[in-house]
């Protein structure tokens, strides 16, 4: 079975500062990786995904993530955050090539302040 | 395209009451999922379906039932509501296990059992 660990439950950051949200996964088989964002009182929206190929993945709203197989990590980064980036961010993993289900991390609350 | 529509958005139930959370998608997706979200716990899979007439249990199915009579609809039934079922419930769908698309989520149903 797959699992995802998001070590930081909350990350406070000032506007225009860079941010990194950490995600580590555990799996004995190949996986696909995702980052979702949840704005207050809304559903989850796909930010970006890693399926194969280049390990640096770019998503919406200026976010990017890097897949590191040796460290089993998929950290999310943004060079300069905006107030509107305040949200909950979820990392998720799924086995490749099967009808398996997404497994989510516990989420990281990004709080951007002036 | 409406995407994934969940109704109601909010509901308060008394202990022992029953209700059905509705989920409908208009994208002709085969795969549909029900998750519950509790603070600090991420999303846990309750039930899923790979097509009309086919359903299976997820990680936390106790106290819930589902049915899938059509491709479009995937209702979640709570028979005897308990305070432990107070949560935010999300329905999601995807075309198949070609997960390039990721999951499309509804906006959620916030349920309180008192």
How many Å apart are CA B44 and CA A113, to the nearest integer?
A: 30
Share of chain A above pLDDT 70, in %: 96
| Of the candidates B80, B70, B38, B76, the residue with the CA atom closest to the CA atom of residue B57 | B76
- Chain A residues whose CB is inside 8 A of the B58 CB are 101
Q: How far is CA B43 from CA A43, A114, B17, B92, in A?
A: 11, 30, 24, 12
How many Å apart are CA B45 and CA A103, to the nearest integer?
A: 8
Q: What is the CA radius of gyration of chain A?
A: 14
Other beta carbons less than 10 A from residue B16's beta carbon: 10
Q: Do B41 and A101 touch (CB under 8 A)?
A: no
> What integer pLDDT is reported at residue B9 of this predicted model?
94
Please tell me if residue A40 touches chain B, with a CB cutoff of 8 Å: no
> A67-71, B86-90, B101-105 — which is least confidently predicted?
B101-105
> What integer pLDDT is reported at residue B98 of this predicted model?
63
Give me the residue from A9, A98, A102 closest to B103, CB to CB.
A102
Say yes or no to pLDDT of B99 above 70.
Answer: no
Q: Do B43 and A49 touch (CB under 8 A)?
A: no
For B108, nearest residue in chain A (alpha carbons): A43
E-only strand ranges, B16-84: 19-25, 31-38, 42-51, 54-57, 64-66, 76-78
- Using one digit for the tens of pLDDT, what is the confidence trace for A48-103? 999 888 899 999 999 999 999 999 999 999 999 999 999 999 999 988 766 668 89
Q: Do A90 and B42 touch (CB under 8 A)?
A: yes
Please tell me if residue B49 touches chain A, with a CB cutoff of 8 Å: no
Residue A29 DSSP SS3: coil
Per-residue burial over B85-96, b if 16 or more Cβ lie within 10 Å, else e, is: bbbbbbbbbbee
What's CA A66's distance to the chain center, in Å? Answer: 10
How many beta-carbon contacts under 8 Å exist across A and B?
51
């Amino acid at each position: 079975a797959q699992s995802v660990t998001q070590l930081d439950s909350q990350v406070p950051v000032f506007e225009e500062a860079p941010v990194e949200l950490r995600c580590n996964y555990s799996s004995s088989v190949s996986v696909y990786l995702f980052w979702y964002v949840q704005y207050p009182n809304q559903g989850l929206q796909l930010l970006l995904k890693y399926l194969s190929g280049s390990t640096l993945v770019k998503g919406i709203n200026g976010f990017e993530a890097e897949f590191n197989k040796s460290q089993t990590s998929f950290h999310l980064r943004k060079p300069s955050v905006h107030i509107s980036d305040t949200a909950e961010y979820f990392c998720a993993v799924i086995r490749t090539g099967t009808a398996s289900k997404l497994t989510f991390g516990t989420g990281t609350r990004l709080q951007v302040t002036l | 395209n409406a995407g994934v529509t969940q109704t109601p958005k909010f509901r308060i139930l008394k202990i022992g009451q029953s209700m059905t959370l509705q989920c409908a998608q208009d994208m002709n997706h085969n795969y549909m999922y029900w998750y519950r979200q509790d603070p600090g716990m991420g999303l846990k899979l309750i039930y899923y379906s790979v097509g009309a007439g086919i359903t299976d249990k997820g990680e936390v199915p106790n106290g819930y039932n589902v049915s899938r009579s059509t491709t479009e609809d995937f209702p979640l039934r709570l028979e005897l509501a308990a305070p432990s079922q107070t949560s935010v419930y999300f329905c999601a769908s995807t075309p198949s296990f070609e997960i390039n698309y990721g999951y499309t989520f509804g906006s959620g149903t916030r349920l309180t059992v008192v």
